[in-house]
């Protein structure tokens, strides 16, 4: 009986110790969050793709045929 009681105590001690350790770990994680990271596209993503090619110039010329031909 004495031996069984000892086993039970050990288990409880283990759980208590384990639970306490887990709580501490969670608290540590909660208390020290990392900085929020906003999406920061690089220069390659945000660089200008537009170029005034012959194709684009033709579009402006055709659309401004009434006005820009002068």
Partner 1 sequence: MARMKFLCDADRCIECNACVTACKNEHDVPWGINRRRVVTINDGKPGERSVSMACMHCTDAPCAAVCPVDCFYTTADAVVLHSKDLCIGCGYCFYACPFGAPQYPRVGNFGSRGKMDKCTFCAAGPEEDSTEIEYAKYGANRLAEGKLPLCAEMCSTKSLLAGDGEIIAAIYKERVTQRGYGSGAWGWQTAYRETINV
* Residues at the interface with partner 1 (CB under 8 A): 38-39, 41, 45-53, 55-56, 59-60, 62-68
| Cβ pair 63, 56 in contact under 8 A | no
Residue 63 CB, nearest approach to partner 1 (Å): 5
The least distance separating partner 1 from the CB of residue 52, rounded to whole angstroms, comes to 7
Q: Which of 4, 49 has the CB closer to partner 1? A: 49
**Residue 8 C-beta-side C-alpha neighbours within 13 Å:** 5
Give me the least distance between CB of 57 and partner 1, in Å please: 10
């Amino acid at each position: 009986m004495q031996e069984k009681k000892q086993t039970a105590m050990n288990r409880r001690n283990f759980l208590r110790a384990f639970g306490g350790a887990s709580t501490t770990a969670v608290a540590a994680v909660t208390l020290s969050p990392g900085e929020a990271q906003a999406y920061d596209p690089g220069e390659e993503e945000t660089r200008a793709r537009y170029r005034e090619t012959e194709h684009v110039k033709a579009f402006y010329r055709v659309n401004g045929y009434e006005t820009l031909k002068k």
